[in-house]
Amino acid sequence: MFPHDTFSAVDDAQPQVQLNGEVLAGAYVVNGKVAVFRGVPFAEPPVGTLRWQKPEPLHTKLAERDATSFPPACMQSMRILDWYRGLAETFGATRDVFDDLEISEDCLYLNIWTPDIDSDEPLPVMVYVHGGSNNSGWAYEPNYHGHALAERSVVLVSIAYRMGVFGFFSHPDLDAANFGLWDQIAALEWIQKYIGAFGGDPDRVTIFGESAGAQDILALMASRRADGLYHSAIMQSNAGFGLGRRATSLLEDEQQRGADTAKIFGFESNHALSALRSVPALELLQKYEEHFPRYYHSPATDRQLLTKPIWDVISDDELSSVPFIIGNNADERYNSTNSGATREDIQKAVESSRFLNVPEALAAVIDDPDPANAIDRIGTASGMQCPSQYLAAHQTALNNNAWVYYFSRVRDGDAGTEVRAYHGAELPYAFGTHDPWMTTTDVDWQLAEQMMGYWVQFAKTGDPNVDGLPEWPAFTEPNGWTIDFASEATTVAAQEPILCRIFREAVN
């Protein structure tokens, strides 16, 4: 099931906050230590004529708004839900441990966990942007509940945004794209205005996210439209920031896909856009997914939010100068790699790599006793690890404020050995929300304490270093240091030095 929070609510004293002409009525969790406000709207529902428009400020008001239940998730395929169910089966649970997911086009809501509504000293704010290839995922997946982080004196906010055909799409009759990113900006603007009512400090906002969520954060860092709305960032398993398959697309590309989508429904007149807006959301989603099943929805150069490709922004030293943490997991792509891979498959993986297609890279991995692991190393290094190290070193050279992590913890037992440190494995540790059906030991709980310790310290100060944990130096190349989250947090030399040197030489 999708519990409201890991701990049952305390109903005898309902927390209330008055803002923007409404009273929000939430609930208490963690035995009354944390107040949670679920399903708080930050914009008008993007339906009807507001489909494929930038989000509009909320003007629909209620005298008292019930904020005790999570809202429907944004329109999406069930890919992430199916992934969760498959992972649960791997660990010996049944697929029905996860209920079906309710989805709706009316989905621009956020959720807030706070330890002190009336804090005398405003608390740092952490805003989570979920992943899911920008076409699936939701703000209250079980591992994203914020009670454990809130207990550490931060205000945790998780936000929803439009995805897929609803959020990363355009049409020849539109001059905009990136509607999902505009949603994220609208949520951050709402937080600037109202988070003080929940005990949060609008001058200390850390945005953090995983996978496509991290990629979206990098896009916000490349856009002046988000300046001042956040003050630090954490990017977990960032998807290559505009490299290779996920290169920044153009507005014209998005518009052409919009025209192609209209043709699916037989709309080719001057009124095609308005006709598309009249198609029921579920029908639009289903037919779009049938025709574009493998399209990766990434931020586009739309000349408004993004004026040029993200990689060019980085190369031209125009990325936001805010401090950031960035990193990846040890086995990002291992689960999706053929377990029967051969040395020939390793060679093919190197040959198909945009930046690592050289004999030296092949020599670095060809003798790996597990060919699937070698292929994973090439894919992870090229798409996440080496770009992350490169970006952090670039930022440190300019501002001395970027840190790199590496997550390599493998859970005990056969299931842990099977999935290894998979894409997303770090999330229960970063939030302190280990699923009850996973194999979780004292080592895992202690590692979660350490990871949350770094994340919270970074949100408070802009520097992750905290008393009682290993020193974490800002990242430099070619001999940078990272924190490896293995059985415990340890300061180690940067991983894959040969592959990442080859990457640096290729992109410079």
What is the DSSP secondary-structure string of 414-463?
HHHHHH-S-TTTTHHHHHT---TTS---HHHHHHHHHHHHHHHHHHHHS-
Task: Indicate the pLDDT class of residue 61, thresholds 50, 70 and 90.
Answer: confident
Task: Indicate the pLDDT class of residue 240, thresholds 50, 70 and 90.
Answer: low
Give the Å distances, CA to CA, from 263 to 14, 478, 499: 51, 51, 44
Mean pLDDT of 389-417: 97
How many helices (H) and strands (E) would you count in the chain? 17, 18
Over residues 166-224, the pLDDT tens digits come to 999 999 999 999 999 999 999 999 999 999 999 999 999 999 999 999 999 999 999 99
Residue 465: is it exposed, middle or buried by C-beta count within 10 angstroms (0-12/13-18/19+)? middle
In one letter, which amino acid is 357?
N
- Rounded CA-CA distance 107/45 in Å is 7
Over residues 115-135, the pLDDT tens digits come to 999 888 999 999 999 999 999
What pLDDT, on the 0 to 100 scale, is given for residue 242? 55
What pLDDT, on the 0 to 100 scale, is given for residue 339? 86
List CB contacts of 49: < 8 A, sequence separation 6 or more: 277
What phi, psi does 207 have (nearest 5°)? -95, 135
> In total, how many domains does the chain have?
1
Task: Indicate the pLDDT class of residue 336, thresholds 50, 70 and 90.
Answer: confident
**What is the helix, strand, coil percentage profile of the chain, to 5?**
40, 15, 45
- Rounded CA-CA distance 453/464 in Å is 8
Is residue 38 in some structural domain? yes
Is residue 227 in some structural domain? yes
- Rounded CA-CA distance 23/460 in Å is 29
Strand extents, DSSP E, 216-351: 232-236, 249-250, 300-301, 324-329
Which CATH number goes with the domain that contains 383? Answer: 3.40.50.1820
Of 105, 101, 107, the C-alpha closest to 40 is 107
Give the Å distances, CA to CA, from 94 to 98, 112, 145: 9, 30, 22
Q: Which residue range(s) make up the domain with 308? A: 16-507
Task: Indicate the pLDDT class of residue 241, thresholds 50, 70 and 90.
Answer: low
Region of 199 on the Ramachandran plot (φ > 0 left; ψ -120 to 50 alpha; else beta): left
> How many other C-beta atoms lie within 10 A of the C-beta of residue 323?
23
Is residue 206 in some structural domain? yes
Is residue 305 in some structural domain? yes
List CB contacts of 271: < 8 A, sequence separation 6 or more: none
Over residues 80-92, the pLDDT tens digits come to 999 999 999 999 9
pLDDT exceeds 90 at position 238: no
Q: Of residues 227 and 335, which shows the higher confidence score?
A: 227
Mean pLDDT of 355-370: 96
Rg of the chain over CA atoms, in angstroms?
Answer: 22
- Rounded CA-CA distance 3/92 in Å is 19
pLDDT exceeds 60 at position 258: yes
Mean pLDDT of 9-34: 86
Task: Indicate the pLDDT class of residue 376, thresholds 50, 70 and 90.
Answer: very high
Is residue 498 in some structural domain? yes
pLDDT exceeds 80 at position 22: yes
Of 382, 260, 249, 407, the C-alpha closest to 326 is 407
Of 245, 246, 225, 238, the C-alpha closest to 183 is 225
Is residue 9 in some structural domain? no
Is residue 7 in some structural domain? no
What pLDDT, on the 0 to 100 scale, is given for residue 416? 97
Residue 96: is it exposed, middle or buried by C-beta count within 10 angstroms (0-12/13-18/19+)? exposed
What pLDDT, on the 0 to 100 scale, is given for residue 268? 86
Task: Indicate the pLDDT class of residue 12, thresholds 50, 70 and 90.
Answer: low
pLDDT exceeds 60 at position 394: yes
Mean pLDDT of 43-70: 96
Over residues 185-201, the pLDDT tens digits come to 999 999 999 999 999 99
Of 12, 133, 126, the C-alpha closest to 76 is 133
For the chain, the average pLDDT equals: 94
Report the 3 state secondary structure along 175-237.
Answer: CCCCHHHHHHHHHHHHHHHHHHHHCEEEEEEEEEEECHHHHHHHHHHCCHHHCCCCCEEEEEC
pLDDT exceeds 60 at position 246: no
Over residues 441-492, the pLDDT tens digits come to 999 999 999 999 999 999 999 999 999 999 999 999 888 999 999 999 999 9
Of 349, 322, 324, the C-alpha closest to 334 is 349
What pLDDT, on the 0 to 100 scale, is given for residue 20? 86
pLDDT exceeds 80 at position 54: yes
With beta carbons less than 8 A apart as the criterion, state whether 132 and 437 touch: no
pLDDT exceeds 60 at position 395: yes
